[in-house]
Structure 1
Amino acid sequence: MKNLLLISCLVLTAGITWSQKAPRIASLDELIGTEKPALNIEQLKDEGITIWSDDFSEDTTWILDNNGQAGIEYGWNINAVSDGWYSNNGISSTSGGNYAELVNGVPANESQALDVVYTMTTANPIDVIGLGGTNQVTLEFEQYGARFNDLQQILISTDGIVFTPVGDNLDVPVLSASGGAAYDNPDLKQINLATILETDNAPIWIQFSWTTNFPSFAENPNVWITYGWYIDDVRLVTNPDNDLEITETYWGTEGLNYYQIPLTQVAPIDFEVAVFNGGANTQTNVALNADVNGGAFVGSSDPAEIISLDTAILTLSTPFTPDANGNYTIVQTISSDSTDDVPGNNEIDDISFAVGDFIYARDNGSPGGSTTNGVDGFESGNLFDVWADQTLKAIDIRIPGGTNGAELGTEFYVKLYSVDVATGDFIYEMESDVLTLTQQMQNTSLTVPLLSPVNVIANTTYLAVIGSFGEGLRVSTAGTSEPQTSFFLDLADNTWYYQTGTPYVRLNFDPTIGIEENNTAFTVGNVFPNPVSGEGTLHVFMNNAQNMSMEITDLSGKLVSVQSKSLNQGENKIALDTAQLSSGIYTVTLLSGTTSFSRKMIVQ
């Protein structure tokens, strides 16, 4: 069995060569303006000895380099006042008083500085070996803030010139309208330096650095937005003797996890963790244990020996395969021969999912955000692996309402793609009719029938999406997706990106869903791709062979093209040559007697 946590690119079904997509950059209108309140939480503390600490009571302990920017609203500052736009009160640290804060303008005023790197570095080196007598040391500090499109890094140096990254903020999701969360206030960040420091290591400098996480898009002001980064109570502490830490977790089938699974699509489910030994002692007989529904299924991994500062991947020896409809809760634990000195960092959250008749869902069912694309059209959805041949008639979606919801009257559709085995490209399969959003459609699980049933094929990966050609649409998100498993198509440039907020887009295999039967002899799909640059395709489904007329009109209603089409029974693909059309919005209409269907086409 493969170790899924070690795979840099998830393999979704056997034989697929995956086409990597770039991460989506969050836009200004997805910025969250409401601060997360401070939490009274029990912080994880190890049993080590503090060998060095600083609470920012003396700002001379640090050298601030604000890249030539002037003013309190740019770069690092050290005081007891929150100067940024996001938080009124700053960090609720243990020591109180002064703290360090990173600011880069006010997004609402579009005053963020571009092309900057802000650093805060200890003024003097710290003799770790001399102070602690060991390289078994952890750097820890309290922080507050959130991740947007920025990169928050922690670095160390032995000469004060060349700095090596040892930690960053990329282990937390982006806080945006799609989901995510601010850091706990305060959040205790811990970085084990024993894997980096030598036993006779020279003294070190510590540096905190802030810049964009998207340097290739440096001209985009959105990549320079920050919620702010607050830091206090920096410490170096010696490591405990016995400390197993869970650094990664995975559950699912071939790289995808599902919170609702039709019984017809059940496949073996793997459970896996990466365990780091951050203590000084070797740990023996380390195992992952899983219990399903209080003993209905019990499994363990093969026991492992993990030497100090090493990581082991533990996978259940036997995957769990549900055999009946119902709710399933999986409790996982780590066991070893030693008593862990810091048990809080090897706890694993329980997993719950359901097996039912028809619904295949990647989202967790608890909407916590939404995806939009400003004034431009987009598509958003999830990958699904199909393990048995079945007929798909509909896709379920959720569109949020209310003040921050989708606009009533917005036109939208759902669509199904398959994934090309050779290239990883998304291949059009089927879509719905274009619907107009009403209030009754919002804040509920909405079933949208496809124009024609699709016979999905075993051992094939599909992408189900909701989309809109223009502004106004928002799609609920519920949970977090691994990179390259949920996707976003920006229709402004016809580019696919991956997104980490899981769209509420599901497959619905209910065989009783009535595909809309028209009393007419044909139904018409949407123009694909849309916008069109060059040649597009219009899908038409005919009950019988027939000759038809196709008209194209511009926004003013002027007729720019009339063609006769001879269509066959079943699916037809009509080529739309736009080479002679100016950029703009057109209407394509198919006519047969007194019956007509019209579809919007955007020409770039």
Structure 2
Amino acid sequence: MKNFTLLLIVTLACTVAFGQYVQKQAEPSRDVPTFTKHSQNISYDELTKEAIWSNDFSEPTDWEMDHAVDTEDKDWVICTVETAPADLIPPYGMPDDFVSPTVDNGFALYNSDMGSSSGDPTQDAWIGIVNPIDLSTVDAPRFVFSTYFKRWADVVYFEWTTDDWTTVNQVELFHDVVQGGATASDYIYLLNVPDLGNESNVKFRFHNVGDWDYGWYIDDISIVDAPDYDLQLVSTATNFFSAVDYHEAGQEQYYHISSHYGMIPEETMTTENSFVFFNVEVMNNGMQDSTPVVDITITDPETNEAYTFNYVHDAVLASGEKDTLDIAWGDGEPYVMGADEYILGQYDIDFEVTIDGQTDAEPGNNTYSTYFEVTDYEYARDGGNLDGVCGPAIWVDGGTDGDMFAVDYTLFESTTLDSVQAYVTSNSTAGTALICNVLTWDTDTEAWNVLSASPLYTLEETDLGTWVSFTFTDVAMITVPEGESAEIKVALEFYYLGEENSLWIGEDNTIPSSVWGTTWMFEGDTEWTTITNYYNAVPMIRAYIVPTLGSAPQTFAETNINMYPNPSTGEVVISNVEGATIEIVNLMGQVVASVENAQDINNIDLSNQANGTYIVRIINGNEISTSKLNLLK
């Protein structure tokens, strides 16, 4: 590990006490539509080494399937999608199609859920190769296979023998897949088994053991000679604004405490305190010691390089060793977006791992890309990719009226939270209801207090499958002392109003977030909870802030600018703005109407715009004045 050099500003930015959250692992509910937490999947595009042995399951007689005595009478199946027994595909909770190069020729599947439930006889089943394999010319065998696995309560193993199963050796697979979690449906597993080097009588099998699970697909197994040099980029973390020395004893759980942001308002992103720095988890899959080199590039919306950083690790990784590297954590090293440099739009972050002084034999799993977007007013953890559902009912303990979950946001300037939007999925029930709460941390009482709340919003059929907007009874003004930061919590409070009803918020599984991106409070609890098996997914909840627009922002009340009527039914008059530029901006950051070189009195027609809140900006040279306009037709 790199010697830890934590920036002073980073520690100052993390103003909320660690002790504010209870941390626990929660039991997922199985009755959740499309609830799958994918491990961060770094692509593995191709094998560059020739296979010594391979099998694509096109000949079922190559394999034997069995289960242990006094366990559930269920075996592995070799099939295609077309020839699969009724109800075998897809396994419950695994909606994605399994992907492998020869999926149409056949694959192996253990559908653990089919016909089972918790408390049934233990499952203990395996599929193994029939004929032994000669690896006498292979120094370090690597097994490579396509797979798709989702865990509930089982443990799965790769097992091998050199004496026809008199002696069994095993290694557990999928360590990083938590309960309710899954690999990607096209995951490529690399497994080095040097103990089988130069053995001539090798058999292997895949073994599923436990009480109840979802399913496990396997296809396209090959054996290659493991290369001397092969680093794998396992996962990445982009730290926004704050971090904790997770190397310190007792602080390990605070790794990536900032989590990820998909959208960040420019007034937050362009302060001098808005540092961005990184972590990379690297695995040495080669047989020789290797020194990792990491290159990080940030590209702006106009495809210009906004930031590059090269890091050479200060220690070698032994074969089979994995480590988490701290990148750009030193003075002057993080990415800081200058106030004069930002461009609204998407910034791409590209990671690449190489080996110091050597060529990586398998570069296909050495790169990863993610992104964030700089916006006018929109603050979001998600990146706009709807591929799941979430809500308190994803947990066995959730689904009760009054349950809440929240996303947290960091602010460096005093601001007003104008409104919040949440994506309510189409499989929710009309008649259920939500309240949106904005909470701030009180350092005196060491508690989260409600700053403002929306009225109870009862969902109608037209709200399902859309973004729903929440405005607040009291103005949500957040004061941030100069040079400091503040955390706010935007929380949805759920009211199902009947056990048969469903209420789900959209979820983005593509963002490499941590457990700290979302917090939970179930009915009857008094403290917010960080659930340690909820990660790489965030709720689609977005906050819209009224920007301060510099150190001395002006409102219309502080100028001679007049705007009327407000609320407007479609037409608004703006006066005393001769020569200025007028912009009417919706809360998605889109300019819906504008006037260049305005007259003294200007009539602006908004009759084609949707009801809601808009920001009116008057730009006159270097001076900007803003006001809110409510459109109610």
* TM-score normalised by L of structure 2: 0.62
Aligned partners of 1:364 and 1:358: how far apart in 2? 15
Structure 2 SS opposite 1:23 = coil
Counterpart position of 1:209:
207
* Pairing 1:183-222 to 2, within 5 Å after superposition: 183-184=185-186, 187-194=187-194, 197=195, 206-210=204-208
Counterpart position of 1:165:
171
Counterpart position of 2:599:
none
* Pairing 1:548-587 to 2, within 5 Å after superposition: none
Aligned partners of 1:52 and 1:260: how far apart in 2? 45
Residue number among 145, 160, 179 corresponding to 1:141 in the alignment: 145
Asked whether the 8 Å contact 1:44–1:188 carries over to 2, the reply is no
Counterpart position of 1:558:
none
Deviation of the 1:274 alpha carbon = 2.1
Structure 2 SS opposite 1:30 = coil
Residue number among 112, 116, 132 corresponding to 2:122 in the alignment: 116
Deviation of the 1:338 alpha carbon = 2.9
Aligned partners of 1:67 and 1:56: how far apart in 2? 28
Asked whether the 8 Å contact 1:240–1:279 carries over to 2, the reply is yes
- 2:478 maps to 1:455: yes
- The residue type equivalent to 2:507 in the other structure is T
Counterpart position of 2:109:
101
Inter-CA distance 151–490: structure 2 relative to 1 (3 Å threshold)? farther
Asked whether the 8 Å contact 2:416–2:475 carries over to 1, the reply is no
**Identity percentage over the alignment?**
17
Aligned partners of 2:63 and 2:144: how far apart in 1? 17
- 2:309 maps to 1:299: yes
- Greater alpha carbon shift after TM alignment, 417-426 vs 61-70: 417-426
Deviation of the 1:58 alpha carbon = 5.7
Deviation of the 1:345 alpha carbon = 0.8
Structure 1 SS opposite 2:46 = coil
Inter-CA distance 206–451: structure 2 relative to 1 (3 Å threshold)? farther
Counterpart position of 2:580:
none
Deviation of the 1:102 alpha carbon = 0.7
- The residue type equivalent to 1:369 in the other structure is G
Deviation of the 1:344 alpha carbon = 0.7
The structure, 1 or 2, with the larger RCO (C-alpha pairs under 8 Å, 6+ apart) is 2
- Greater alpha carbon shift after TM alignment, 442-451 vs 315-324: 442-451
Counterpart position of 2:237:
250
- 2:423 maps to 1:399: yes
Deviation of the 1:258 alpha carbon = 0.8
* Pairing 1:315-354 to 2, within 5 Å after superposition: 315-316=327-328, 318-324=333-339, 325=342, 326-327=344-345, 328-336=347-355, 337-349=357-369, 351-354=370-373
- The residue type equivalent to 2:506 in the other structure is S
Counterpart position of 1:390:
414
Counterpart position of 2:595:
none
- The residue type equivalent to 1:94 in the other structure is T
Aligned partners of 1:67 and 1:493: how far apart in 2? 45
Counterpart position of 2:514:
482
Residue number among 481, 495, 499 corresponding to 1:469 in the alignment: 495
Inter-CA distance 155–125: structure 2 relative to 1 (3 Å threshold)? farther
Deviation of the 1:346 alpha carbon = 0.5
Q: Deviations over 1:552-596 (max 9, x none)?
A: xxxxxxxxxxxxxxxxxxxxxxxxxxxxxxxxxxxxxxxxxxxxx
Deviation of the 1:320 alpha carbon = 0.8
Inter-CA distance 206–47: structure 2 relative to 1 (3 Å threshold)? same
**Contiguous gaps of at least 5 residues in structure 2:** 7-12, 37-42, 92-96, 244-255, 549-554, 556-633
Structure 2 SS opposite 1:339 = coil
Inter-CA distance 484–302: structure 2 relative to 1 (3 Å threshold)? same
Deviation of the 1:447 alpha carbon = 3.9
Inter-CA distance 427–114: structure 2 relative to 1 (3 Å threshold)? farther
Inter-CA distance 304–468: structure 2 relative to 1 (3 Å threshold)? same
Deviation of the 1:290 alpha carbon = 1.8
Deviation of the 1:246 alpha carbon = 0.5
Deviation of the 1:106 alpha carbon = 3.8
Asked whether the 8 Å contact 1:119–1:207 carries over to 2, the reply is no
Structure 2 SS opposite 1:27 = coil
Deviation of the 1:111 alpha carbon = 6.2
Q: Deviations over 1:300-351 (max 9, x none)?
A: 22355645524452513611122244222233333443332211111212x3
- The residue type equivalent to 1:474 in the other structure is W
Asked whether the 8 Å contact 1:106–1:112 carries over to 2, the reply is no
Asked whether the 8 Å contact 1:393–1:511 carries over to 2, the reply is no
Aligned partners of 2:418 and 2:27: how far apart in 1? 27
Inter-CA distance 207–314: structure 2 relative to 1 (3 Å threshold)? farther
Counterpart position of 1:542:
none
Counterpart position of 1:238:
225
Deviation of the 1:20 alpha carbon = 1.1
Aligned partners of 1:66 and 1:420: how far apart in 2? 57
- Greater alpha carbon shift after TM alignment, 112-121 vs 249-258: 112-121
Asked whether the 8 Å contact 2:100–2:219 carries over to 1, the reply is no
Residue number among 244, 264, 275 corresponding to 1:268 in the alignment: 275
Counterpart position of 1:229:
216
Asked whether the 8 Å contact 2:455–2:473 carries over to 1, the reply is yes
Structure 2 SS opposite 1:20 = strand
Structure 2 SS opposite 1:114 = coil
Residue number among 453, 460, 475 corresponding to 1:438 in the alignment: 460
- The residue type equivalent to 2:365 in the other structure is N
Deviation of the 1:487 alpha carbon = 3.2
* TM-score normalised by L of structure 1: 0.65
Inter-CA distance 141–419: structure 2 relative to 1 (3 Å threshold)? farther
Residue number among 410, 425, 430 corresponding to 1:408 in the alignment: 430
Inter-CA distance 352–190: structure 2 relative to 1 (3 Å threshold)? same
Structure 2 SS opposite 1:168 = coil
Structure 2 SS opposite 1:45 = coil
Deviation of the 1:192 alpha carbon = 2.8
Q: Deviations over 1:157-177 (max 9, x none)?
A: 6686675434227448957xx
Structure 1 SS opposite 2:23 = coil
Deviation of the 1:464 alpha carbon = 2.0
- 2:387 maps to 1:368: yes
Asked whether the 8 Å contact 2:436–2:492 carries over to 1, the reply is yes
Aligned partners of 1:42 and 1:265: how far apart in 2? 36
Structure 2 SS opposite 1:265 = helix
Aligned partners of 1:15 and 1:275: how far apart in 2? 30
- 2:14 maps to 1:26: no
Deviation of the 1:441 alpha carbon = 4.4
Aligned partners of 1:420 and 1:413: how far apart in 2? 21
Counterpart position of 2:543:
507
- The residue type equivalent to 2:285 in the other structure is G
Deviation of the 1:92 alpha carbon = 5.6
Aligned partners of 1:438 and 1:58: how far apart in 2? 53
Structure 2 SS opposite 1:464 = strand
**Contiguous gaps of at least 5 residues in structure 1:** 5-10, 34-40, 213-217, 219-223, 514-604
Counterpart position of 2:285:
278
Counterpart position of 2:602:
none
Deviation of the 1:133 alpha carbon = 4.6
Inter-CA distance 150–21: structure 2 relative to 1 (3 Å threshold)? same
Structure 2 SS opposite 1:407 = coil
- 2:163 maps to 1:131: no
Asked whether the 8 Å contact 2:77–2:110 carries over to 1, the reply is yes
Counterpart position of 1:556:
none
Q: Deviations over 1:441-474 (max 9, x none)?
A: 4512624325452536555544322122224422
- The residue type equivalent to 1:149 in the other structure is W
Residue number among 155, 158, 176 corresponding to 2:158 in the alignment: 155
Aligned partners of 2:202 and 2:450: how far apart in 1? 56
- The residue type equivalent to 2:386 in the other structure is P
Structure 2 SS opposite 1:273 = strand
Asked whether the 8 Å contact 1:242–1:338 carries over to 2, the reply is yes
